[in-house]
Chains A and B, each alone.
Chain A
């Protein structure tokens, strides 16, 4: 399904884990197939509107999981953060067209924008992939061990606040600007906040990447 489903179904959380301060993975038993990169709508009741979250689990996993951070002024995430395994949530079938493929690609993410790439990696799409993940703090490299194991030297971490061995100090864009190994034939997946996504997209275009090869998912 590529169009947003209107129907939500009731399910029970089977996983509720704070993986980093203020950042959670929640999951439930998977009832639908999906293509890595897709998202679901998730709500805590039938009255208030659900929000969209990228799936972060593999497409063969028993559980379907999403990653979120608490938005202090948000409606849903503070409540979702206080829930526990066993609580009821309302979710949609997976949808969206930010599809991962076997095609060689750069995955470019900031913050929780890493979620769809974790799903792609966990679904066996790690071959011929390079990932750059930009965060503000060192404890925000979510699923870092899995990416290190899966991608090895093709996993680049950028931290804007602090330097650390093996981590590039600074934002994603200067890192990308310094690269000279972008192929016009590769796909470029960008996931994160609007300003980063737009900046990176413009940068790639300026480096000669056809915009048809740039796939952007913005967290609205």
Chain B
């Protein structure tokens, strides 16, 4: 039996190719994009300006493609964590983080992760598969807060640059006039810095970039993040220095602060040297201990001193509020390991 292909998640050019293949009028592609990304419908039958024949044809080979969350957890601070099944019987998590007048959605780009960072829950479940652009955008489109979303961050499960084709397609859908028409300045893609992906992302996408830095020292980063062996931070920084971030596009560096490990004055000094000449900001993140990790968080006083030391040297540094800690929605805590072998 033919597996029906979801329409949701296709770019305009893919839709144009699709309608050409079905010998439908060219303008059908734009109509489809409107129905998929601009209107509140969830079935092909509701595409009322398409001919009956076109709808029948599409229904034969395709689904609309939206996937409902199968579970929702709500934190005492208002953060929500949605569990979505994927097309291939896996599960991913998405966090919706309300803060003041903003609602930020933290989307996943993969089921699990291959990168194996020592401090991350997602890494502990290994890698179970790539998400399609549709599955990524679905995390934005198919939550109750969709109308109020102000920001999207690719900081959920997975390494975006390890699934770059689909990530770029998803950003295209979110930012194109024919799509969700969001500003790329409302979107941040976070990566540990897979260099070929980094170069392509900077060339092909206008969204903000965040790099998981975590320590300026090679050996230490290698212990925390095995990717450092293949794509060292020094090389990542060299590439970033070739780009101009003085305009609206922003580069930020994520820095989880571990007590007694990367929170010393030597780290501050090395960071200042490393980031000299880059117009950037540093986000300090409190470490949320995960089972079996030898790492621990730093104390508040050290965290503040670390922040002040960087700010005093001209590096805009903030401490990210921990949100959704009680439902494991905070940074580094997303995981569907318990569901890896459960049918969706």
A residues near B, CB below 8 A? Answer: 2-4, 39, 49, 52, 96-98, 193-195, 197-199, 201-202, 205-206, 210-212, 214-218, 220
When chains A and B are docked, how far (Å) is the Cα of A193 from the Cα of B127?
9
- When A2-B232, A3-B232 are in contact, do A214 and B223 touch as well, CB less than 8 Å? yes
Q: Which residues of the other chain, B, contact A216 by a CB distance below 8 angstroms? A: 116, 226, 229
Let me know if B124 is at the binding interface, CB within 8 A: yes
How would you classify the secondary structure of chain A's contact residues: helix, strand, loop or mixed? mixed
Q: Please report the C-alpha to C-alpha distance between residue A216 and residue B221 in the assembled complex, in whole angstroms.
A: 11
Q: Are B126 and A205 in contact (CB under 8 A)?
A: no
Q: Considering only CB atoms and an 8 Å cut-off, how many residues of chain B contact the other chain?
A: 29
**Beta-carbon contact of B230 and A52 below 8 Å:** yes
Instruction: Decide if B114 touches A194 in the complex (CB within 8 Å).
Output: yes
**A49, B124: Cα distance in complex, Å:** 29
Q: Is B218 an interface residue (CB 8 A)?
A: yes
Closest Cβ–Cβ distance, residue A199 to chain B (whole Å): 8
B162 interface residue, CB < 8 Å from A? yes
Q: Which of A4, A39, A220 contacts B235 (CB 8 A)?
A: A4
Q: Is the CB of A198 within 8 A of B124?
A: yes
Interface residue? B25 (CB, 8 A) = no
Q: Does B179 contact A (CB under 8 A)?
A: no
| B196 interfacial by beta-carbon distance below 8 Å | yes
11 contacts between A and B (CB under 8 A): A3-B235, A39-B230, A97-B222, A193-B126, A194-B126, A195-B125, A197-B116, A201-B118, A205-B293, A218-B227, A220-B230
- Report how far A4 CA is from B222 CA in the complex, Å: 15
- B-chain residues with CB within 8 Å of residue A210 when the two chains form the complex: 294
**B115–A97 touching, CB < 8 Å:** no
- Tell me the B13-71 residues at the A interface (CB within 8 Å): none
Given the interface pairs A3-B235, A97-B229, A197-B226, the reply to whether A211 lies near B118 with Cβ below 8 Å is yes
Q: Which of A52, A97, A98, A218 contacts B116 (CB 8 A)?
A: A218
Contact B230 A4 (CB under 8 A): yes
A-B CB contacts (within 8 Å), total count:
73
| Residue B292 at the chain A interface, CB threshold 8 Å | yes
Inter-subunit contact B230/A205 (CB<8 Å): no
B116 to A201, Cβ gap below 8 A?
Answer: yes
Chain B 124-153 interface residues, beta-carbon cutoff 8 Å to A: 124-127
Q: Are A4 and B114 in contact (CB under 8 A)?
A: no
If A4-B232, A205-B294 touch, whether A215 touches B195 (CB-CB below 8 Å) is no
- Give, as a whole number of angstroms, the nearest-CB distance from A3 to chain B: 4
**Shortest distance from the beta carbon of A74 to any chain B beta carbon, whole Å:** 14
CA–CA, A194 to B162, complex, Å? 13
**Which residue in B113, B127, B195, B292 is a CB contact (below 8 Å) of A4?**
B195
> Are A198 and B126 in touch, CB under 8 angstroms?
yes
Chain B stretch 222-256: residues in CB contact (< 8 A) with chain A? 222-223, 226-232, 234-235
B222's partner among A3, A197, A205, A215 (CB-CB below 8 A) is: A215
Set of chain A residues within 8 Å of B194, measured between Cβ atoms = 220
3 smallest A-B Cβ distances: which pairs?
A195-B126, A194-B114, A216-B226
B123 touches A220 (CB 8 A): no
* Bound-complex Cα distance A199 to B340 (A): 15
Are B232 and A220 in touch, CB under 8 angstroms? Answer: no
- A218 contacts B114, CB within 8 Å? yes
Nearest neighbor of B200 in chain A, beta-carbon distance: A49
* Contacts beyond the supplied A4-B235, A198-B123, A215-B222: 10 A-B pairs with Cβ under 8 Å: A3-B232, A4-B195, A4-B231, A39-B230, A52-B230, A193-B114, A194-B123, A205-B292, A217-B226, A218-B115
Give the shortest distance, in Å, between A51 (CB) and chain B (any CB): 10
Q: How far does the alpha carbon of A49 sit from the alpha carbon of B194 in the complex, in Å?
A: 13
Select from chain A the residue with minimum beta-carbon distance to B199.
Answer: A6
A220: chain B residues within 8 A (beta carbon): 114-115, 162, 194, 227, 230
Verify B294–A198 contact, CB threshold 8 A: no
- Tell me the complex Cα distance, A215–B225, Å: 10
Q: Which of B123, B124, B229 contacts A217 (CB 8 A)?
A: B229
**Shortest distance in angstroms between B83's beta carbon and chain A's nearest beta carbon?**
21
Knowing A201-B116, A218-B115, the reply to whether A96 touches B292 (Cβ < 8 A) is: no
Within the assembled complex, what's the spacing in Å between the Cα atoms of A52 and B195?
Answer: 12
In the assembled complex, the CB of A48 is this many whole angstroms from the nearest CB of chain B, namely 11
Collect the chain A residues with CB atoms within 8 Å of residue B124's CB.
198, 202
Tell me the minimal C-beta distance from A53 to chain B in angstroms: 11
* Contact assessment for B230 and A194 in the assembled complex, using a CB-CB cutoff below 8 Å: no
The CA-CA distance from A212 to B223 in the complex, in Å, is 6
Q: Given the complex, which residues of B lie within 8 Å of A97, measured CB to CB?
A: 218, 222, 228-229, 232
Q: Chain B nearest CB: distance from A136 CB in Å? A: 16
B123 / chain A contacts, CB cutoff of 8 Å:
194, 198
Q: Do residues A96 and B118 form an inter-chain contact, with CB atoms below 8 A?
A: no
A3 to B234: give the CA distance in the assembly, Å.
Answer: 8
Cα of A206 to Cα of B294 in the assembled complex, Å: 9
- Residue of A with least CB distance to B232: A3
- A4-B230, A4-B232, A96-B229 known; A211-B223 Cβ under 8 A: yes
* Set of chain A residues within 8 Å of B114, measured between Cβ atoms: 193-194, 218, 220
Instruction: Pick from B113, B126, B195 the residue with the most CB of A within 10 Å.
Output: B126
Q: Which residues of B contact A202 (CB under 8 A)?
A: 124, 292
